[in-house]
Amino acid sequence: MTDTKAIPCSEAVRQLWDYLDHAIPPEDQEKVEKHLSFCRSCCGELEFAKEMRAFLATSTAQEIPPHVKERLERFVERL
């Protein structure tokens, strides 16, 4: 029996980038998805992450800019 109980915001945000990269197992992917379906604050962060990814895809930068990482870290700290 698979227990798909909700994960906390901190975990969802930490997995956000890997989630967008599909770098996490399907069951984790599902957990993040589930969390985002009901959590408004993380949804805002997801939109931000998506935009950043789109930006990165069109730029030559390979890494997440430090200020973006910082923003995500600060978001997690506020939780």
Residues at the contact surface with Zn ion, assessed by CB under 5 A: 9, 39, 42
What residues have CB less than 8 Å from 28, skipping those under 6 apart? 15, 19
The Cα–Cα gap between 77 and 5 comes to: 22
The least distance separating Zn ion from the CB of residue 49, rounded to whole angstroms, comes to: 13
Sign of torsion, CA 65 67 70 72? negative
C-beta closer to Zn ion: residue 51 or 61: 51
The least distance separating Zn ion from the CB of residue 11, rounded to whole angstroms, comes to: 9
The least distance separating Zn ion from the CB of residue 42, rounded to whole angstroms, comes to: 3
In 3-state terms, what secondary structure has residue 23? coil
C-beta closer to Zn ion: residue 44 or 65: 44
